[in-house]
Chain A
Amino acid sequence: MKKKYGVFDIIGPIMIGPSSSHTAGAAKLAKIARGIAGEEPVEVHFYLHGSFSKTYKGHGTDRALVAGVLGMDPADENLRDSLKMAKAKEMVVSFNEKDLGDVHPNSVRVDMVLKSGEKVSVMGSSIGGGAVEITQIDGEEISFSGNYPTLLITQKDVPGVVANVSKLLYECQVNIAFMSLFRDQKGREAMMIFELDQNIGKEILDQLKVIDCVEHVRFVPLSSNVINYPVV
């Protein structure tokens, strides 16, 4: 898909400096990662690639990433104190330089460990001006922008699941802005990504979870300083 920019991708975000890609984009990316994990992790390891790995300290990328994992927005005035805040919560945090392969120069992989011991890994790129692209979840290649409330569904790759999910969304009056489907191998596991025009509540998520062959449902509500989406 060709890159598309709206007015407030260009004039905006309102943010804490110093770098839109290294500070604001990093915070947004990490906040989405936390959203995918569904809760605050007890352990988080950042693997920084390219320009991120070279300059993360000077741009406050480290503080921004941790701020995002703590749930802060890029314009949060507490962003600069995030490392202290994580320490106070006894969150284990590490920063590592790593070549993540043929990816955008400002990329990071966020490996999180949740309280239950479950591990969640999210990779993404800060593509300029504070905009981001999520490129991998748990090693699976996917793509979404985080500019919309996003529904992520892992399913068995069999006929009918897409139809059942979209039927439910239709019945609940949820409008789909963009939809994409990713799979590794035919018949194995697939991931559907729905970028929605509104946030959805627990009730709909619970109904989605019991659809046949749906294995995992995650929802990333729209974060940050953008438009307030209505909740269905």
Chain B
Amino acid sequence: MNIKNGKELLKRCMEEGITIGEFTLRQEMEESGLSREEIYERMVDNLRVMEFSTSKGVGEKVISVSGLIGGDAYRLGKYLKKGQSVSGNVMVKAMSYALSCSEVNASMGKIVACPTAGACGILPAVIMTMKEEHQVEEEDLIMGLFASAGIGAIIAQNATISGAEGGCQAECGSAAAMAAAAVVEIMGGTPEMCLNAGAIVFKNTLGLVCDPIAGLVEVPCAKRNASGAVSAITAADMVLAGVVSRIPFDDTVAAMYSIGKSMPEALRETGIGGLAGTKTGKKLKKEIFGSKSEKSKNKMNDDTFDEKEETKDS
């Protein structure tokens, strides 16, 4: 994207009287030299994979390669049918779809990284839930995806979307911010409201570390995808009700980046700290990879959490 930040995005959208989705699509035409139809069709390809990855795990129990996760999307799907959920159809459906994508991903199945594979459930879950629960037409879903891509590009250009660089807030946080903006645009909100929704999501996901058990994109990733989808929908509702974020979007992105940079490596996708460093986390890792420890090869500073545990044990 040839724009600096959310502020400039807003200015351009207002000047041209267009949505963020439309602006992003036009930017892509300009930068790639491709036609509107070619770009649009490529997004349709993405939507088709999203349809597959959101539904597969609901229809059947999909189990990850390691066996650590699986079947949760299926459970939620069955629960939804009973019609007795606490948070309602929209939320339960969104959670089941997000879990499905994560389970498909962890079984080495086909997904769309959006923005990453670790966070691949959030945007598709929200988009497919909008389609089914709010009867949104495919064209509006596609434009919503373009809007979310615009938001994601600004995040990536000003901060990071990599868990190894910025923790889970950079992956699931960014995905949820993108999804929230898409929902707002689909529901007819202004570009400013879209950015507000993204800002609110970041405020609620800042500081989230990336601490996957055994380094696998499974625990806690799948449930964080479910929670990210919920976060996106709630932020969208707040904004559509007229709530405004006191901290503007660009500042929340800057905060996410600076927090990410100050996270120790053990909490950035190394599978060492946080949940991965707990007793259970380490036990699960042993069960998956056998008892051979790689610890001796690791550098001291990466092992902070392991060493604390070791001292306690001995």
Q: Which residues of A contact B (CB under 8 A)?
A: 2-21, 23-24, 50-51, 54-55, 57-60, 75, 77, 79-80, 97, 99, 104-106, 127-130, 197, 227
Contacts and interface: CB of A to CB of B under 8 A. Distances in A.
Contacts of A57: 215, 289
Contact of B46 (A12, A18, A20): A12
Interface string B44-79: 011001000000000000001110000000000000
Nearest to A77: B110
Contacts of A18: 64-65, 105-106, 108, 117-118, 216-218
B104 interface: yes
Nearest to B150: A7
A6 B34 contact: no
A59 B217 contact: yes
Contact of A105 (B156, B165, B294, B297): B165
Contact of B117 (A5, A11, A23, A99): A23
Interface residues of B, number: 73
Counting chain B CB atoms within 10 Å of each CB, the highest count among A3, A18, A50, A104 belongs to A18
Contacts of A24: 113, 117
A11 B216 contact: no
Counting chain B CB atoms within 10 Å of each CB, the highest count among A14, A80, A197 belongs to A14
A8 B168 CA distance: 21
Given A6-B153, A21-B162, A197-B33, A129 B120 contact: no
Contacts of B278: none
Interface of B: 1-2, 24-25, 27-28, 31-34, 38-39, 42-43, 45-46, 49, 64-66, 104-118, 120, 123, 145-146, 148-150, 152-153, 156-157, 160-165, 170, 178, 212, 214-218, 265, 268-272, 288-289, 294, 297-299, 302
A6 B28 contact: yes
A15 B156 contact: no
A132 to B, nearest CB: 12
